[in-house]
Structure 1
Amino acid sequence: MLLKKLPYDFTICKVRRPEEIDLSADFYFLARTDEELSLVCRTEAVPAAVTERDDGWRGFRIEGVLDFSLIGILAKLSSILAAHRIGIFAVSTFNTDYILVKEENVHRALAALAEAGYEVR
């Protein structure tokens, strides 16, 4: 399976109101629940008025479109990283999965996944 390292620094944050988010940005993940409005975006695109933020994340994605019938892809990736004591923040889209790790762990994470047989670009 092919993984692509993304060339961005990411921030995970809480936003007060959706109007504060630049929906024209080229790369972001947005989630709203009855308890919060969360945003994962490129660090340079973080809105000015966030209530909390955690900087220093890097990401990679599983290349290609994953069929919904595929089982355990994210579980396998996260278990490999967990075995190397690397925490993750995972995001899924309609097409694929993304995994974010803290900047200080990105090289170890990609090496662990390559060692497990994943091709990393």
Structure 2
Amino acid sequence: MDPSEVLDGATVVVADGVYAVCRTDDPDPDAFATIQDDSETTVVVDEASPTVAEAVEVDRGWRRLTFDVTLPFDLVGFLSVVASALADADVSVFVVSAYSTDHVLVKASDLDRATQTLRELGCTVRRK
């Protein structure tokens, strides 16, 4: 399957909140996402979360874009197409993948440019 087939007509949902990406000592059960490996724990939380104040390091001001489409495991190059298009638009991304969908976080200041780029890829963008 070609990634452009999935992108053409795919819905991207812009979440309401503003997020912080935090390196923490402990997971947060209320986090949108938790990534824990042998060397660190990273959580993506609403900026108003108490975890932000307790974090070892924090990067604030992220907006979440969710691809509201089921992505098959054998789909090759989906994120490559999305990340390359956003990079060409000078938009930095932080990506979180779930079992069957992907979430791309972009800085709030880049949100308009990011959503326009996704529209150019054939996506329908809507606010939550």
CA contact (8 A) 1:11 1:46 kept: no
Q: Kindly provide the CA deviation profile for residues 66-113 of structure 1, in whole angstroms up to 9, marking residues without a partner as x.
A: 111111111111111011111100000012000000010001110111
Would you identify which runs of 4 or more consecutive aligned residues in structure 1 move more than 3 Å? Answer: none
Q: What does residue range 1-121 of structure 1 map to in structure 2 within 5 Å?
A: 1-18=10-27, 21=28, 23=29, 25=30, 28-47=32-51, 48-121=53-126
Q: Which runs of 5+ in 1 are unaligned?
A: none
Q: So what's the TM-score if we normalise by structure 1?
A: 0.89
Q: Offset of 1:46 from its aligned partner?
A: 4.3
SS of 1:44's partner is coil
SS of 1:67's partner is coil
Question: Number of aligned pairs?
Answer: 116
Q: Kindly provide the CA deviation profile for residues 8-62 of structure 1, in whole angstroms up to 9, marking residues without a partner as x.
A: 10100011123xx2x1x3x510011111110011111241421000110001111
Aligned-residue identity in percent: 29
